[in-house]
Structure 1
Amino acid sequence: MDYIKPSEVAESFLTTATTKSQLPASQLLLRGFLSGAFLGFATTVAFTSNAQGVPPVIGSVLFPVGFAMIVILGLELVTGSFAMLPTAFLAGRVKLVRVLTNLFWVYLGNLIGGCLYAWMYAAVQTQFHHVPVTGAGALIVAAAQAKTLAYQKLGGAGLALSFLKGILCNWMVCMGVVMGLTSRSTLGKIVACWLPIFAFFALGYEHSVVNMFVIPAGILMGAPVSLRDWWLWNQIPVTVGNIVGGLLFVGLPMLWIGKAGQVRNAEVDSIQSV
């Protein structure tokens, strides 16, 4: 059957995390780079759709194409690793140094990929700064300001808001990772992971890797946002929120589900052996 049971998904979740922890730095950096760029592509597809005057929900339907590519190709997205790797550590499957090493290289790879695509996209949109920004580019400039300066105006509440939106975002993103494990077929994986990713993007929550493209792209196209604004009011609190959301609301529940499944299997084996 194509469908995989929850207890098996939980075990696959931990097994996948263990495999990820064993990848060399070069692989983590490369796979992270590609993931950061692919999410940038997907984000610009969504913004291009929005710039054409269609309902914003259409852009949200299109955005998960980037995440689906990452899942199918087995690439590295740090937001998913925020749930997987610490959970594997708590389960005794992975050493802490492996967790930290993985997160560092994947985060760096995601950042490089997002920023490089941001530079390329800004160069195309402005024709190397020879024409004004319009259409999707203008929407990205506005989004970069909304993701930084709008929080800055709120002060401490702005930091709390970006942190909370980071939690809510990665709750859904990590559910996308889990849903991708519920099927053995390519089509099944795509459809399953599409659902929660659509939800987070439609609701406007904060994804640290998406922001590695949106905010630099906005800055390069003229948004009055400094690097300090980017990191203080968005990247750092959103990253912390992503960690909390992924681990607390997805990683730990999957660990609990896996343990419950092991207990049930042990009980069944005990009964059958009588």
Structure 2
Amino acid sequence: MTYVTPKDFAVRMIDAGQSKVAMSTRDTLIRSYMAGAILALAAAFAVTISVQTGSPLLGAVLFPVGFCMLYLLGFDLLTGVFTLVPLAWLDKRAGVSLGAMLRNWGLVFVGNFAGALTTALLMAIVFTYGFSADVNEVGQAIGGIGEGRTVGYAEHGFAGMLTLFVRGVLCNWMVSTGVVGAMMSDSLPGKVIAMWMPIMLFFYMGFEHSVVNMFLFPIGLMLGGDFTIGDYLIWNEIPTVLGNLVGGLTFVGLMIYTTHVKTGPLRELRVKVKQ
């Protein structure tokens, strides 16, 4: 599968972070818009499979098709730039300042949200025959997700907020591992396999992904979910974004950078000579 060693794909991660900062505003918005739209469609696909087959595992197994497609097409998710761009800043790459990094994050957030919202509207039309019929079974399930993962957390107060944040951390630990997975191979099958595994894990475990939630909660509101925009922002999106940032940067970006780029000095080995 033409495996790329950690030392080499670590450099690719830094290069990717720098290239994303250098990208034009237009291209950043287009690529993030398409990433949000495709990932949202994959989420709708996975929920549909789970509801119609009664097997959440099957939905999780097939959900990564959207993630693989968007990364192979060169599109960008907020969860990915949270991990890659800071490495270029830490490595003091030319043109990568704190302001440039925050600008990139902001543009990707806007693009992802716009793309996910577009798919939410289109799928809401599909689920309701243009808002002229009752919400179908899949639509009801999506509305229930939005309610359970906002009001459900709020019912537990601080403990619920902590759980939400930790699920965001765990999510981007896996998602960013999938982003790096695309750099671990120079072959198409190798890239897909390396991306598929951690994405399947995060989805089945019910971790919180900020971009997936940009689809699930707006469409839940469109389909009559019993929660508010305020519930969505306070009891899901904002803590999830923060958790995703911490998880991807801490458990993936910084760990790989620290041990494969800023590698510690080798120990001097002492060999005992037999008398």
TM-score, length basis structure 2? 0.93
> For residues 2 and 262 of structure 1, what CA distance do their matches in structure 2 show?
27
Contact 2:16 / 2:85 at 8 angstroms: preserved in 1? no
Greater Cα shift, 226-235 or 253-262: 253-262
C-alpha contact (below 8 Å) 1:6/1:257 kept by paired residues: no
Judging by fraction of residues, say which structure has more helix. Answer: 1
Equivalences for residues 1-274 of structure 1 within 5 A:
2-93=2-93, 94-260=96-262
1:20-71 deviation per Cα after TM superposition (whole angstroms, max 9, x unaligned): 1100111111111100000111001101111113421100011101110121
* CA distance in structure 1 between the aligned counterparts of 2:163 and 2:75, rounded to whole angstroms: 30
In the other structure, the counterpart of 2:273 is none
Over the aligned positions, Cα root-mean-square deviation in angstroms equals 1.5
Structure 2: how far apart are the matches of 1:118 and 1:181? Answer: 30
Shift of 1:235: 0.3
Q: Is the 8 A contact 2:13 2:87 kept in 1?
A: no
How far residue 87 of structure 1 moved from its aligned partner, in angstroms, is 2.1
Residues 190 and 205 of structure 1, relative CA distance in 2, 3 Å threshold = same
Structure 1: 5+ residue runs without aligned partners?
265-274
Count of residue pairs brought into register by the alignment? 265
Aligned to 1:267: none
Paired amino acid for 1:88: A
The one-letter code sitting in structure 2 at the alignment partner of 1:81 is V
2 CA distance for matches of 1:263 and 1:234?
Answer: 43
Kindly state the Cα deviation for residue 261 of structure 1 after the two structures are TM-superposed.
Answer: 5.5
Q: Describe the shift of the 1:48–1:32 C-alpha distance in structure 2 as closer, same or farther (beyond 3 A).
A: same
Q: Distance in 2 between matches of 1:3 and 1:263?
A: 25
Moved over 2 A (4+): 257-264
Contact 1:183 1:189 in 2 (8 A): yes
TM-score normalised per structure 1 = 0.93
